[in-house]
Every structure is written in structure tokens, then in C-alpha cells.
Amino acid sequence: MFSNPLIYFVVIPVIMLLGIYLCRNMAQIRAVAVTGSLALLALSVWLLVDYLGLRAAGADAPMLYRGDWTWFSALNIQLSVGVDGISIAMLLLSSIILLTGSFASWKINPLPKEFFLWLILLSIGVFGFFISIDLFTMFMFYEVALIPMYLLIGIWGTGRKEYSAMKLTLMLMGGSAFLMLSIIGIYYNGVPEGVERTFNLLQIAQYDAIPHDWQCFLFPMAFVGFGVLGAMFPFHTWSPDGHACAPTAVSMLHAGVLMKLGGYGCFRVAIYLMPYAANELAWIFLILTGISVVYGAFSACVQTDLKYINAYSSVSHCGLVLFAILMLNTTAMTGAIMQMLSHGLMTALFFALIGMIYGRTHTRDIREMGGLMKIMPFLAVCYMIAGFASLGLPGLSGFVAEMTIFVGSFENTNTLNRVFTIIACCSIVITAVYILRVVGKLLLGPVYDKHHEELTDATWWERTSTVTLILCVAAIGCFPNFFANLIRTTFSPEIFKVLGM
Amino acid sequence: MEIKLLYYLVPSLVMFCCGLYGFLTRKNMIAMLISLELMLNAVDINFTVVNRYLFPGSQEGMIFTLFAIAIAAAETALAIAIIINLYRVTKKVDIDEAKQLKG
Amino acid sequence: MEPTIPILILCLPLLGFLVLGLLGPKMSHKAAGWYGILSMGATMVLAYITACTYFFSGAPEFIEGGVRLQHVVFNQDWLNFYKELTIRIGFLLDPISALLLVVITTISFCVHLYSLGYMEGEKGFQRYYAFLQLFSFSMLGLVVATNIFQMYIFWELVGASSYLLIGFYYQRPSAVSASKKAFIVTRFADLGFLIGILILSYFTGTFNFTDFTGTVLANGSSVNDLVTPLNVVASFGGATFMGCSLLTWALVLIFMGGMGKSAMLPLHIWLPDAMEGPTPVSALIHAATMVVAGVYLVARLFPLYLMEEAALTFITVVGAITAFYAAVVACTQIDIKRVLAFSTISQIAFMMVSLGVARPEIHEGLGYMASMFHLFTHAMFKALLFLGAGALIHAVHSNDYTAMGGLRKYMPVTHITFLIGCLAIAGIPPFSGFFSKDEILSACYENSFVWGAWMSMVAGLTAFYMFRLYYLIFWWDEPDYGHHKPHDAPWMMSLPLIFLALVSCCCGFLHFGKFVTWNGEPYDIHINWTGVAIPSIIIAVLAIALATVMYRKKNDLPAKFAKASCGLWTAAHNRFYWDEIYLFITHKIIFNGICRPIAWFDRHIIDGTMDGLAWCAQRLSVTIRPLQSGNVHSYVYVYLFGALLLGGVTAAVVLL
Amino acid sequence: MDYSQFLVMKQEIGLLVVFLLVFLYDTFMSKRANAAISGFTVLLVGLLTVYGFCCGCPGATESAFAGMYVTSPVIACIKNILNVGVLIVLIQSISWNNSETQAIRRGEFLELILVTLFGMYLMISARHFLLFIIGLECASLPLAALVAFEKNKYESHEAAIKYMLTAVFSSAIFMMGLSYVYMLTGSLYFGEIASVVATESVSVLLIVALAFVVAGVGFKLSLVPFHLWTADVYQGAPTSVTSYLSVISKGSAAFAFLVILTQVFGAVYCQVWEWMLYALIILTITVGNLFALRQTNMKRFLAFSSISQAGYIMLGIIGNNDMGMASLMYYILVYIFSNLAAFGVIQAIENATGKLDMTDYRGLYKSNPHLSFVMMLAMFSLAGIPPFAGFFSKFFIFTGALSGTTSVALYVLVLIALINTIVSLFYYLLVVKAMFLSKEEPVVPAFKSACSERVAMWVTVAGIVFLGIVSCFYNDILLLCQQYGLAGALV
């Protein structure tokens, strides 16, 4: 079991948990957190390189590094792991954000030990989710990732944290209720007569045996289940409150990685396993996600709390992810995955910066700040770069992702899809409006509050955190083909066979 | 006149209902207990006559009745004990008094 | 051609941006400035080499049988979408890109040099140079784009660098809002551009310009199985939308992007405000280079536009209206940079009209050549005018002509060069503007008399407002300058002025038609003196004379004139209230009418539903609480009825 | 009569031996030694549990007394599960039972517990309604005495009388139903009733009788609307008794219910009782949850939570298959551990401070981090949050309910149950919120809980963590059920 490298994505965090449990002071906690996340990062980078090597050497299985270990033999539940390019991209994203999140929580107070314990538990869920290909295991890790949020927000958050934490948890659990039903449904209908039932994604996809009426019953549940986490309209309302109240690292991890679980799940479970229903019912969700995209952007235009702005912008961007997935073609899906990466990085950057600014000014209301460029130029420039990435400036990640999505979506000849593509395109303008509004109000202009003039610029750990993220954002933005190919080559053709592509 | 099964079943049902009625209307716990006895006895009659009339070959109903009587007796004893306990505390045997636990 | 030099052309400014951006704060002003100048100078030299090689080497890859070819120097895959649909970053060399390379690097170099004096001692000097380098990089990338998506990428980048430069004085609220406005308006236009690209690329399956325009390449074939404009039209298969063919829609939408960048009506509102940026920036971005990107875009896709008469007509109409509108507004502005800005809008509209009226069947597409010619000359003299204005502003520390007057005595160099610029733009021979504008007017007249007459009128207006400006600055009445008398700028500011003035004087004599035409075949320029040139000179002279009468000496004629114009003057002064209309639409309708209701809806309806569900559960919990009354009797009732109901209902359901 | 038949009842005999030893110890040992009776009993029950696992398990289905009594590996397994539960309850009760107020009736508590356990054994093993009734009464009458155990607390008596009256009423109804069943089928043997029922058409009287039987057993399980006694009794009874009531009594009743429904009414009437259960499950889960929303007394709160848990347990029955049965047993096992963990904390705090209100738990994390951690795990497990055992048991019970069905109605039922888990998560989180999120100064001061309580907590926490992740528990139970489960082997 331990010869499979993927297992270490769960093992390392578990060791980190133990390590932090034994820690006695802040320095040790930091050391453990940073070492552990560096190890995870190294592991994911190694995995990426090795994966590319294997692919280049001609490995053509849909997933590599496969490993199956029987767990509940009676139900044929297995601990199945395996990755393709998409999972690797997500693992890479998660480890980067965990690392930067650890840096961003350098001075977390109170109860630092508990904070990191929960944070790492959260990351176990995330990593486990991305390496699993067994529906049950996947779902279990998915829920493992959800619950620490409650305590992380409830204890270390700000504002109406108890309300927000509760709302977030309950709504996400509501989503997972639908999800659980659909997983059980898939389990019972996923294999042809006389074959042992399985939770294994690949096998179910291979059998492609779910009857059409069952697909139409289960697909909406799976999609809504994951869609809630992906902040799909109208199930997104946990996001603004939740993000606004969460502590920095949690916002980063949640918006950066956890919301990606939604998109990833929609793709991996809902569409991959139930392509027929995806084709039939895509239009419903297309409308919802299309609304999400524009609606989130418009909402963000009038918010005054930085985190609310960013939360609504996440609604818009994550809406775009789901939107693109529903287009059911390779280009748009590539775009969706890139958008997941891109949004993960830049929204983490945003939340990190907002946290840093809030830590200094003790307000997140843009009406009470101004001219921060003069006071904290480093943070301000980073914020601007994040803003540019968000509004889709070429050279940064947002652009390539959005363009891939738009081109891919437009490839779809359906009129409804086209119309919604154009509507979604409009978001680039609205995004520019709200980003520039914030930038103009917050960073530029005269200094609003004279007391702010004494504030200091970023410290070294904050710089490390932000610069890492910016480099990643720029790397995707400058060399998109590398990522696009990584993702695209992993769409095995049989996924889309049924969709007629 | 031949005495049919029904001539037993109907009175036993009536008896059961009387017990039920008593149980639902009386406030005095002892009276409620008596009503419960009525209900249990109605059940006993049922078992006995059904055994006698319909399945005379076996003794199941009869034996069941015997056990049921014993159980009823045990129940009564225990109930009386609890009622006495309650009476010690509240000096009443009124069931309406016993509704502090609610909500 | 070896790709080394082209790569360097793109990389030097990018490197400059990175170096100045990252290390700038550690550098001294001087070091940063000179680094920028040298970097740009080197780029300029390389660009000249490239352009000269293209035009004059006569290599078979550039010219064949007297026809200039499009040559792709390199084309690197950047992002593949599907099949052939790939964004590439490449370097396309053809007449217009070579021309623009020269223009951009020249002006950019001048501005770099000029800024050393103009921006002296400013806070953020290094940042300024970094942004200039970024802009130069983006603009160069834009003009050498081999495919429409590369163009879009750099299109966005120039937008961003323009945003950064306009907002250079970021502590000034007006600069911040101006930069925001510029970005958002152009972004809105880019939305159209993007959708246009989506439509076009979907049907044709390619982004490549060489595929769209189908200009025959070396050895007589096109890259992609002869995808010529005709094939493009064919690939659309006659698809229509709302009465127009989809190709028209695509082209008009793409042109919308051009309208945004080139500040055509109604998307022009950002350009006057953009004058909040430092003046050299205005000269570089908002006069010479970025704003002509729209013209360049249309010129790039010109063979495609030729396929759709409707799109060309649309361009002509928009251009004509804009030209007139901007000229009228320019007559009434106080801020000298705004006058120049409106003049720029008007002149770019000239180029647009010229493209719009160009037809290959009349005069071998004279309009196209004229447009490019005007682009070239205009870049030179408009940059000159802006830099001159910058020198003036530098001297009197104000943008308004009311603070100037009689400056000819104090600033002779500026005066002469400014005058040359004015003469050039007014279309007085032998200055360059005359030649290019004359070609445009000829093209208009050849298309239709209406366009010709209309544009002649605008040309007259141009002469009038430019000389109004000239007189108001250099003659009129001298205000009290205090004891700091204005004086000419230092050499690094004067040098570019003189250089550009010289170019403005001479470049009209260039045989432009030999270099740049729509199909690469040389075109022989011949001035139609009697038909077009003489009348237009007369119009210009008359307009100048009128300006002389009104503005040479201080008098109350202009005031009377304004009063007599029944509000026309006020309206023009307020730019015909376009800004107010936009303000109304954005704030009242979009912001208050859409965003706020949506935010409200989200907080109260969507969120309220979720909270409401929780509330309902709580209420329900309270409501059923009496069930647990504590009374044994009620428990037993519930029990009994529960059991009976369970039996009864099930029996009923099962048996019925 | 062949007295060797008694040897089939290995576990019952073991239990009786334990009971007698405790009884003798209680009667004949000196007063000083009497203090050790709790520990003695724990030791014996521990031995019994080990015995149950090692030797008590029959190799196959065995029956005695003309088929009135049946035992099989599955039955032995559920009895073992109950033994484990009782063991934990007893460990938890040691410090309470050793307190001064308990001095004169220490032994009685233990003896009554053991007797009720014996009754439950009979309920589970009975294949004849007479034996079943005896077991049922044996399991419920001593409980009334246990509920009334705290002699100087009024609530205890009120709870007892409520329990007593409703329980007797319920058994009257049950026996009434039974008498009709007897009238219609002529037998009280499960198997014979089943074979008669299978040949005849559906009759109204039998449906009503079935409803009465369901009501009678549903009372023990506290299914809505037969649940109203639950909260009052749980609140009034001593905490040890409450925890015993909530897990052991409920677990045994659930299994017995499964046996009756599937074995007696399995063939034809499964259509009938499945619809009855359908309604009862929805009602039970929803009403239990709605009531639990607003409770502040921890015991009352857990009472309603246990009502809704009973609804989930019923999902294992409605599927009417082996996997459902295995899931039900597994659910009971996990539920025993989770609920007892919660009760362990409640009891520890009650013993130390007498506080029982949820508001008293505010800031508990600051003063008693370990206690609040255990409580949190218990809440998460009850709410079904992975990686704790509750998640697995919920998942399997849903899987079991949907096993082998294509009925959308069942899917809808599971969906309703799933949506209800959100409500339940809400109130479980309320406890977590009080303990962890509250900024106020803790009401409960820091204290060191008794050694026995800590042992019990460790055991329950270990159960919560490992019962799910370690797959052998569920695997083995399912294997057992597939071998000796519903497919006829039970009768």
C-alpha cells in the first residue's frame, strides 16, 4: 500500500496532525506546518514530472498510479486511488495553497495548535478527494473536508461568524445529502446485470450501464450536490457570508481549493458517469450557472466589504467553471479546469491580501480605506496583480482560462448555449468594473484615514505567501499550453464518446 | 341456544373499550390502573375463547392467558409501588399533577 | 529572415519592464531613465533594421514580382483550443506592421527621451519608465500579431498599460477615475471584439490573419489550404442573424473593439479624460499609437471587410459622424490637451472613413493607402503637438489656455515646432498632413461626393480649431506669469520636438504608395490638384484666416460668437453631454437599476429563502411543542389514534 | 422433556449466572465490600461479553423448546453488541452508583439492569409470541423501577409513572393485536403464523392487528407517534438509566421489530408494513428532529435525538433484506458507542457539578478540553460526519434501505431522511457551538472526572473512531447476515 506515491498525500497530513499535536510552541507548529506543506508540494511536483514522463513513455491508461485496496469487501468498497492530469493539477493547486495558507496564518491567534489541526484535517479531506476514484471514499473525504470549516470559521472567524459557519455547514451538508443519494443510486444501477457492484468510477464509466431514466434522476442530484459547493446559483448564499467571516487561511483554502471540489466532482461524477443525462439536462444547469456568472459579478459591484466582493466574484468565476463543464466539449472542459486552477490561485491571493490588509487596518470596508498604495506598496501592487488576474489580463491565469472557456463554449452549436456564452462573456466587463472600483477606492486616491499612514508593509512571511501565488498565476498565464495539454491529454476519448464528440 | 364465538368476542371488545375509556378519562391513577386491568382481561378472554372455539386442538391461547395474568399482576404491583412513591412526594394520586416534565 | 531581431524587438521592452518594475525602486532616477531610453533606442534601431530589410532588401520572402508579401517570421504555439484553433505568439511582417514598427519605436523613443526632462523629480519615476516599456512591448506585440487572438491579447495589454499610465498620478482622484473609465469603456468595446472573434473563428476554424486575408504568400500559396476571404464567406454558409449575415455581425463586432480603442463615437468618452495622465503618455498612447489600433485592426482585416459592404458602410458612417463631432467639440475646449484629444479623435475618424470608403475597384483601394499614410503622418505631428503641449504645461503648470498667451516670446522652439504641427494638421502644403489628408479626401470624393464634402468641411474645422489653439497659446493676451517667466524646455525635451517637426515637414514627400497598399502592389500617388487639393487648401486657409481674425489678439469676438450660437457653444463645450448620458446609464441604470436590486435580491430573497427555511423549521418546532404536554392522557390519545390511523389508512390504501 | 435444550441458551445461562453471582454478592457480602459490587459486576459482565464472543456463539441456527427459542450467529452477534453496550453503561455508572445516595440500593440497580438484559435476550431469541411477551415485559417492567430509582427526586417518580402507565397501555394494545393475530392464524409461533398468512389474502382485521403490533413494539423503539413518553422519561430517569434506555433497550427492540416484521409478516404483508414503516420513518425522523431543535436540557435533547435515530434505524428494516439487517445491527453498534460517549460526558459533568443544561456547556472547551472533545466526537458521529463511525453507519443504512429496490418511493424516503440529517446536524452543532465557539467564561469549572468515567470515554471514543474506519466490523456482520440472516435461517 505504501509503495503507491498517492497514499502519501493522505499520510503526510496525518503525520502533520500528529506532529502538531505534539508541538509545544508556535515556532514548532509553524515548522511542522511549513515542512509538511513543502513536502506535499514537493510530492505533487514530483508527481507531475513523473506523470508527464510516464505519459511520454506511452502509458495510456485513463488514470495512472492506480492502486486498489479492499476496504468494505462486502459492498466492494475499495480504497482506490489514481490520478490523471486534472487531479494532478488540483493536487498541485491544493498543496500550493496549503503552503501559502500556512504562511498567511503565521501569527494566528488564539489557539494556534487547534487551528492548524483543523486546517490540516481539512486538507486531508481535500487531498483524499482528489486522489480517490472510488465514489464512497471520494464522498467520505469530501465530507471530511466540510466539517472542519464549521470550527475554523466559528472559532477563528470575524463578524457574524457563528451564523455564517452554521449556514455554510448546513448548506454544504444539504448538498452532500443529495450527493449521497445519487452515489448510492449510481452504485445500484451502475453495473450491468450479473456483475459485481462497484463504487469505482472507472469501472462504472466503462460499463456505462446506468439506465437513462435513472441517469435523469441521479444526474441533477449529483450536479446540485457538487454545485452547492461550486457556488451555483441559487445555492451560493453560503459563500459570501462564509468567506467574509472566515479567517484568512480558511478563506484561501476554501475558496481556492474546496470550491474546486464542486467543479471537479461535477465533472468526475456527474458528467463522467452520466453522460446521457448530462446531454439531456445540461440546459437547466446551463441557465443556472449562466445566471451565476453574471449575477455574481453584478452583486460584487455594489458590495463594500472586500471579502464580500471577492466572495461574489468567486460565485461568478466558479459559475464559469460549472458553465464550461456543462458545455460538454473538450475545449470548454479544459477551460473549466484551467479556470479552477486560476481561480483557486488568484482567489487565494485575494483572500491572503485581504487578510493582511485587514490585519493592519482592522476594517474591510472599502469606504473606510483609501490610498493604500502609498502606505503599503507591496501589498497594494500584489492586490492589483490579483485584480488584473481576476479581470482577465493576458499574461495572468484568468485570461487563458476564460478564453478557453469562451472559445470552447462557442464551439457548441446549440443556440441556447451560444446565447449564454455571450451572456457569460459580458462578465469580463462587469468584472473589470468591480475590480477597478475596488482598486481605485482602496489602493489609489488620497489616503483616507490618517491613522493608516503609520501602517507597515508586508513582512517576509507575507511576501513569501503572496509572491508564490503570483508566480503561479503568472506561470499559468504565460505558458498556458503546458497546462492545457496536461489537462487535455487526460480526457480519455471514451468519456465523450457517448456525448457524440 | 348455542353460544357462538361472537358472543364472547363482542363483550370482550366492549370490555376493552370500557377499559380504554376509563383509562383516558379518569384522573385517579388507581382508577387508571383498574382500567388497564380491564383491557388486559379483555385480551385474556379473547385468547381463551379463540383457543376454545377455533383451535381446540392446542393449548396456546390458554397458556398465553395464564402468563398474561401473571404479567398483569406484576405490572399492577409495580405500578402501585410507583404510585405510592409519588404519593409520598406529592400527597396526591391525580395524574394531572404529574406533568412537570414536558416540552 | 532570422527571427533573432524580431524576438529582440519584443523582448527588449519586456525585459525593460521587468527590470524597471522589479529593480526600479532600488535604482536612481537617472539610471532608470537612461536604462529605459537605451532599451527603447536599441529597440528602435532593431525595428528600423527590420523595416528596412522588409521594404528595401527585395528578398523573395518579402516581395515577389513587385508585390509585397506577408511574411511570418516566427509563430510559436501559445495555447491550443481545438483542431487548428491555436493562439500563437508570432511576428508577422507586412507593409503595415513594418510601418507601425517604425512609428511606434520612433515615437516611443522620443517620448522616453522627452520624459527624462518632463518627469524629472517625479515620485515613481522608475515606475513610469517601467510602464512605458510595458506599453511599448504591448503595442509592438499588437502590430506584429500573426493572428487575431494574439492581437486581442496585446490589445488587452495595451489597455492595461494605458490604464496604469493614465492613473500614474494615483493619488489624484481625477486620474484614478479617468483611468478606470478608460479601461472599462475599452473593455466594453473589447467584449464586442471578443464575440466577433468567437464568431469568426468558429466558422473559419482559424485565427490566422494570413488565412483570413488570404494575401498570397511566397510561392503563391496560402498557409492553410487557400483560405481566402472568399472561403471565409463560404465557411459562414450564409448564416444570418437578425437580418444581417453573421459575417457582418462578426466584422461589426470586431470593429466595435476598434471603436473602443480608437475612441469612435459613442465609445469616445474615455479619451478626453485620459489626458489626466502625464503629457508624454498622451503623446505616445493617446495620440500616436494605441488609439490608432482600431484603424490598424480594420486595415488588418481589410480584405475581409471588403467582402461585406455593410460593415464598411458602418465604419464610414461612424467615422464621419465622429470626425465632425470631435472637430466641433475641439473648437470649444479650454484645456489644451483636450483640444488635442478631440483633434485626435477627429483625425482617427478620418482614417476610419478613409478605410470605409476604400474600394479596390476604385483607384486600387486608394483609401486604404491614404488611411495608413495619414496614420503615419498623424502619429508624427500629433505626437509633436502633444509634446509641445507638454512643454507648455511644463512651463506654466496649467493645462488651460487661459493660463497661457503670448508665449511665442518666451518659448521660441516650442512655438516654431508647435506651429509646424498645426500647419501639418491643417493640411497646408508642404507639410505632411496635407499629403495624407489630400489622399483621404480624394478617396472620399471618389466613393461619393457626400463623403468628400463632409470630410472637407471637417478638414476646414480642423484648421480652424488648431489655429484657435495656436493663437490662444502663443498670441492672444499675456497673463501675469509672475517672476518665473516661462522658458523653453531642456534639451532632452526640445530635441524630440525638433526631430518630430522635421519629420512632419518632410515625410509628406515620401512615396508612401510604393510601400503600403492593401494588396501589396505599389500604388502611384498623384495629387489631384484641381479636383481636391486646391479647394481643400483654400478651405484650410480660409479657416486659418477666420481663426486669425478671432483669436490673434484679445477681443470679445469669441464671446459674442459663443453667445450668438444659441446654446450650441455650451453644448459643444460640454461635449454634447455624452459624459452625463454615460453617467446616467452607468450609475442610475446599471448601478442602481441592476446591481443594487440584484444585491438586494441576493441578500433578501435568496438568502432570505435559506434563512426562511431555517425559520420555518424553528416555527414548526414551536408549533408542535404542545404535543409534548406532559399529560399522560394526551400521550395515550396520540398513541391510540396513531395506531388506529396507521391501521385504518393502511387498510384503506391496501384494499382500495 | 429434554433438558439438554437449555444448553442451546448459552448466553442466557451465562447472563443468569452473572445475575445470580451479583445477587449473592449483594445479599451476603458485608456492607464494606458492597462498595465494590459495581466493579464486581463490571468484571462479570466483561467476562460475559468475552464469553459471548468466544463460546456463546452457536455454529449455526439452533432452536429449543419446540422452536420457541432460536439462536444463531446473527442473534448471538446482536446479543454481544448489547453486552458491550451494557458493559459500557455499567462502567459509566460506577461512580454514580458508588455515591452516598446509592448506598442502600447499589446492588438493585445492577440486578435490575441484568434482568432487563435477560428480557431483551428473550425478545431477540423468541420465535413464539408468548416468549416474546415475557421477554418484552421482563425488559420493560424492571426499567420502570430503574426509572424511579432516585427516590428523593420528584422527576424520577413522575417519569416512572408515565413510563409505567404508557407501557402497560401499550402492551395491552399489543396483546389485543396479538389476540386477533391468534384468532386469524391459530398459532403464536412466528413460523406458523407466517405460513398461514402467506396462503391467505389480505384482511382488514389482520392489518389492524398488525398496526397494533407495530404500535406495541414501536412504543419500545419510541417511534412517532408512540414516542411521547420518551423525552419525559429520559429526562426524569437517572442518567445511567437514561443511557441504558436510549441504547440497549432501543437496540434490542429494533432487532426484535425486524424479526417480527420480516419473519412473521414477511411474505405477503411486507407490502403492508413497508408502507406503515414508510410513514412512521418520515414522522419519526422529522418530528424527533423538530423537537430536538429547541431543547436545552441535554438529556431531553438526546431523547429527541434518539427518537430521530430510531427513525434511521428503521430504514434498515424497510429494505427487508440481509444488507438492511446487517446495517441495522451495525447502526445499533455504532449508535451505542456514539450515544454512550455523549451520555458519558453528560454523566461526568452531572456527577461533578449537577449541571445538565446546554447553556452550562458554554466555554466547556476552555475548562475541560478533553470532555468537550469527546462530546464533539459523539455529536459528529451522531450527525454522521466522516471519518467517524456514524458516517459509515448512516451510509450503510441508506445503502441497505435501497438495496435491491428500484422503487423511487424508497429513494424519496432516503432523500427525506438525508435532508433531515441537515436539521440534525444543526442541533448537534449547537452543542459543539456552545462548547467551542462561545466566548463566555465557562460555567463548568475544570474538574477531573472519575477514573471509570474516563475509561468509558476512551472506550467510546475508540469505538467512534475505529468502528467505521476498520472495515471488519461491518464486513463480518454483513457476512453473518448473508449466511444466517433473513433467508429463512432465522425461524
- Structural domains in chain B (count): 1
| Residue D232 with chain C: CB contacts under 8 Å | 628, 630
pLDDT band for position C272 (cuts 50, 70, 90): confident
Residue C224 is predicted with a pLDDT of: 44
Percent of chain A at pLDDT > 70 equals 98
pLDDT on residue C223: 41
Name the band, by pLDDT with cuts 50, 70 and 90, for residue A497.
low
Q: How far apart are the C-alpha atoms of C343 and C339, rounded to whole Å? A: 6
Answer yes or no: is B3 within a domain. no
Provide ipTM, 2 decimals.
0.91
- Is the pLDDT reported for residue C220 higher than 50? no
In 3D, which of C286, C262, C407 has the Cα closest to residue C339? C286
Residue A264 predicted with pLDDT over 70? yes
| CB D327 within 8 Å of CB D314 | no
Q: Which of A295-304, C389-398, D457-466 has the highest mean pLDDT?
A: D457-466
What domain range includes position B79? 8-97
When CB atoms are compared, the residue of B95, B100, B102 closest to C633 is B95
Residues in contact with C451: Cβ distance below 8 Å, sequence separation at least 6, in sequence order: C316, C320, C353, C357, C444, C445
Kindly state the percentage of chain C with pLDDT values over 70.
96
pLDDT at D489 over 50: no
Size of interface B-C (CB pairs under 8 A): 25
Q: Is residue B74 assigned to a domain?
A: yes
Q: To which H or E segment does residue C163 belong?
A: helix C148-166
Query: Is A491:A413 a contact under the CB 8 Å cutoff?
Result: no
List CB contacts (< 8 A) between D471 and chain A: 71-73, 77
Task: Using the structure block, give the residue that is written with the C-alpha cell 463645450.
Answer: C573
Size of interface A-D (CB pairs under 8 A): 84
Per-residue pLDDT tens for A341-361? 999 999 999 999 999 888 888
**Residues on chain B touching C628 (C-beta within 8 angstroms):** 102-103
Query: Would you say D89 and D248 are in contact if contact means Cβ atoms under 8 Å apart?
Result: yes
Contact flag B82-D180 (C-beta cutoff 8 Å): no
Residues of D in Cβ contact (< 8 Å) with C650: 207, 211, 272, 275-276
- CA distance, residue B1 to nearest chain C CA (Å): 35
Asked if the model's pLDDT at residue C626 lies above 90, the reply is no
According to DSSP, residue D384 is labeled T
Instruction: Give the model's pLDDT for residue C215.
Output: 52
CB contact under 8 Å between D208 and C647, yes or no, is: yes
Q: pLDDT tens-digit profile of A125-146?
A: 999 999 999 999 999 999 998 8
Tell me whether residues B36 and D154 touch, CB distance under 8 A. no
The model's confidence at residue D226, banded by pLDDT at 50, 70 and 90, is very high
Closest Cα of chain D to C631: distance in Å?
Answer: 9
pLDDT score, position C218: 40
* Residue A35 pLDDT > 90: yes
Count the neighbouring beta carbons within 10 Å of the beta carbon of residue C640.
18
Nearest-CA distance C551 → chain A (Å): 38
Instruction: Compute the distance between CA of residue A174 and CA of residue D114 in angstroms, rounded to an integer.
Output: 42
Q: Is the pLDDT of residue C306 over 90?
A: no
The distance of D464 to chain B (nearest Cα, Å) reads 31
Angular region, C308: left φ>0, alpha ψ -120 to 50, beta rest: beta
The distance of D485 to chain C (nearest Cα, Å) reads 28
Per residue in D422-465, pLDDT (tens digit) is: 999 999 999 999 998 888 888 888 888 888 999 999 999 999 99
Which residue of chain B has the CA closest to C622?
Answer: B103
Can you tell me the mean pLDDT for C415-420? 89
Tens digits of residue pLDDT in A422-467: 899 999 999 999 999 999 888 888 888 888 788 888 888 888 889 9
A199-228 tens-digit pLDDT:
998 888 888 888 888 999 999 999 999 999
**Cβ contacts of residue A109 below 8 Å, gap of 6+?**
none
Mean pLDDT, range C320-337, rounded to an integer: 88
Amino acid at C82: Y
Alpha-carbon distance of A265 to C155, in angstroms, equals 36
Which segments of C475-556 does DSSP mark as H helices, in order? Answer: 491-506, 512-515, 534-551
pLDDT above 70 (res D487): no
What's the rounded mean pLDDT across residues D87-98?
A: 91
Tens digit of each residue's pLDDT (9 = 90 or more) over D336-364: 999 999 999 999 999 888 888 988 999 89
Q: Which residue has the cell 450609475?
A: C587
Average pLDDT value over all residues in chain C = 85
Kindly state whether A467 is in contact with chain D, defined as any CB-CB distance less than 8 angstroms: no
- For C90, which DSSP code? E
Q: Residue C118's pLDDT is what?
A: 86
Query: Span A365-392, mean pLDDT?
Result: 89
DSSP D143-164: HHHHHTT-TT-HHHHHHHHHHH
pLDDT band at B89 (very low <50, low <70, confident <90, very high): confident
pLDDT at residue C217, rounded to an integer: 42
Kindly determine whether residue C187 and residue A393, on different chains, have CB atoms separated by under 8 Å: no
> In C, residues 543-602, which contact A (CB 8 Å cutoff)?
591, 594-596, 598-599, 602
Closest CA to D5 of D61, D47, D66: D66
In this prediction, residues C177-190 reach a mean pLDDT of 90
- Could you read off the pLDDT of C493-538 as tens digits, one per residue? 888 888 889 888 888 888 887 888 787 777 777 777 777 888 888 8
Ranges of H-type helices in D357-440: 364-367, 369-383, 389-402, 408-432
All chains having 3 or more CB pairs closer than 8 angstroms to chain D: A, B, C
Among A13-17, C493-497, C513-517, D69-73, which stretch is predicted with the lowest mean pLDDT?
Answer: C513-517
Taking contacts as CB-CB distances below 8 angstroms, the residues of chain A near C160 are: 388, 393
Tell whether the model's pLDDT for residue A471 goes beyond 50: yes
C132, C111 contact by CB (below 8 A): yes
Question: What pLDDT sits at residue C528?
Answer: 74
Could you report how far apart the first and last alpha carbons of chain A are, in Å? 37
pLDDT digits (tens, 9 = 90+) for C40-78: 999 999 999 999 988 888 888 888 777 888 888 888 888
CATH number of the domain enclosing B69: 1.10.287.3510
Are the Cβ atoms of B71 and D134 closer than 8 angstroms?
Answer: yes
| B7-49 pLDDT, tens digit each | 899 999 999 999 999 999 999 999 999 999 999 999 999 999 9
A144–D422 C-beta distance less than 8 A: no
Q: Please indicate, yes or no, if residue B103 is contained in any of the structural domains.
A: no
Residue D488 has pLDDT above 80, yes or no: no
Residue D328 — very low, low, confident or very high, per pLDDT cuts 50/70/90? Answer: very high
The mean pLDDT of D126-141, rounded to a whole number, is 92
pLDDT above 70: residue C229: no
Inter-chain residue contact A166 with D415, CB threshold 8 Å: no
- Dist. CA A412–CA A354, nearest whole Å: 38
Instruction: Return the pLDDT at C222.
Output: 41
User: What's the rounded mean pLDDT across residues A284-289?
Assistant: 91
D228 touches C at CB < 8 Å: yes
B2 assigned to some structural domain: no
pLDDT at D172 over 90: yes
Average pLDDT on D462-474 reads 91
Q: Does the structure show a pLDDT above 80 at D379? A: yes
Q: Is the pLDDT of residue C575 over 70?
A: yes
- Touching chains, B (3+ CB pairs < 8 A): C, D
Is residue C156 within 8 angstroms of chain A, CB to CB? yes
Query: pLDDT over 90 for what percent of chain C?
Result: 18
Q: Would you call A442 an interface residue with chain C, using a CB distance cutoff of 8 Å?
A: no
Q: Give C611's contacts in chain D (Cβ within 8 Å).
A: none
pLDDT in the model for residue C490: 81
Is any Cβ of chain D less than 8 angstroms from the Cβ of C624?
yes
- pLDDT, tens only, D246-274: 999 999 999 999 999 888 887 667 778 88
pLDDT of A492 higher than 90: no
Rounded CA gap, A402 and C149, in Å? 13
State whether residue A72 is helix, strand or coil. Answer: strand
Distance of alpha carbon B12 from alpha carbon B32, whole angstroms = 18
